A and B are shown apart, each in its own frame.
Chain A
């Protein structure tokens, strides 16, 4: 399973004259997990939101070469009046998944994510932060995404769920999806990444495959040296 799932060229965005992302470019390969690293305010979320179409780009190009896209935001927010099951039903309808396959698919994923299926009968806003994050994973995974984008994948998750999430990312990649994990929690993503893209002050300063980094490389050192000396651009 190879090929490119996403190509981003020269992406730029400014807010009220302040440049948030400047000329960002990278691509995501199917079957690989890409860690998207940056400090707080480096432009990670802005880049992701432009890729997803939630923000307009000032310039640049986003080429999506996928059929289905999954997205888990850092802090998922939901309509206050909707129950979990109803939102999942809407998601499945939108993707034309037949009614008879819906229940089975939801049950499998609930088990996979250790999410109590009884929660789906309740309004999502009554869930704990952790369960909201798991629910967001569940909703995104329902559509079997070719490209799975997660903003701060480990926020609000307990240690067991973090381990489950890492396993899940690997399974998705082995199934041929491109997985894009935007985070500043380097220690967690280090256990699972294949490629790394580092963004600093709105500029992509490094793009590397893990195998090109050599066995000596640890992600934290690489990150710190990249954000301090942008000349390491890959």
Chain B
């Protein structure tokens, strides 16, 4: 647990980094613009569903270049991070980014949802969707953080998106077979161990999928994965050394 001054400094540094990141601003602006576009071009319902499905990705963009470069380039060899200070800072960043993502998510959701309430197009039933979307977002921050120990620059985010694109292509190919995985997905039912395992693997790389109403019972899987990856990250950060290549 961080003491109060260290918590404040971790928050300030992580927040300054985000504030000065053009990529973070671009992602933060593009997402509501896209939702607004869907609202205008399609319908409120499509916009709300797309918002909930895509919200976790805004957390993923927050985790861009979260850890690795700061360690590799020696920026943590500073009086601010003496002793285990650099470890506390790196691990504490998870909390700052999660909090930022949650505030951002709520900030966008509330006007969208309230507008729907007033016009009878949304209801209390949308709130569990938001909760699951935020949970998937938390998982992305933690996973993105872990990947950034190994991957340079923003390639932690890119790597995950490439894996997701590959999974998507795999889904498309599965549509060629009758009773393929895509059919099971649309039915929301996975008979047999292998099909269940395939879904869990998909949810591990694309947690957004559990936002869909029929898959919300798998949110526990996402929460468990988040806890597991956080634990792995904690072990990684405890053993971390500041070595310059």
Contact = CB atoms under 8 A, between A and B. Distances in A.
Contacts of A79: 13, 17, 70, 75
A38 B74 CA distance: 22
B186 interface: no
A54 B79 contact: no
Contact of A73 (B13, B74, B83, B86): B74
Interface in B8-52: 8-9, 12-13, 16-17, 20-21
Given A77-B73, A79-B70, A81-B21, A90 B9 contact: yes
Given A77-B73, A91-B79, A54 B8 contact: no
Contacts of A82: 13, 16-17
B241 A55 contact: yes
B77 A94 contact: no
A81 B17 contact: yes
Nearest to B72: A77
Contacts of A17: none
Interface residues of A, number: 29
B82 A91 contact: no
Interface in A13-67: 15, 49, 52-56
Interface residues of B, number: 28
A95 B17 CA distance: 21
Contacts of A81: 16-17, 20-21
Contacts of B77: 49, 54, 71, 73, 76-77
Contact of A71 (B20, B70, B79, B243): B79
Contacts of A15: 243
B5 interface: yes
B83 A53 contact: yes
Contact of A56 (B21, B82, B241): B241
A93 B79 contact: no
Contacts, number: 72
Interface string A58-102: 000000000001110101111101100011001101111000000
B84 interface: yes
Nearest to A68: B79
Given A56-B241, A139-B79, A77 B17 contact: no
Contacts of A52: 82-83
Interface of A: 15, 49, 52-56, 69-71, 73, 75-79, 81-82, 86-87, 90-91, 93-96, 139-140, 143
Given A71-B79, A73-B74, 5 more contacts: A53-B82, A53-B84, A73-B77, A94-B9, A94-B80
Interface of B: 5-6, 8-9, 12-13, 16-17, 20-21, 70, 73-80, 82-86, 239, 241-243
15 contacts: A15-B243, A49-B77, A54-B242, A55-B241, A56-B239, A56-B241, A70-B79, A73-B77, A77-B75, A78-B75, A82-B13, A86-B12, A90-B12, A93-B8, A93-B9
Which 4 interchain pairs have the tightest Cβ spacing? A81-B20, A77-B74, A54-B242, A53-B83
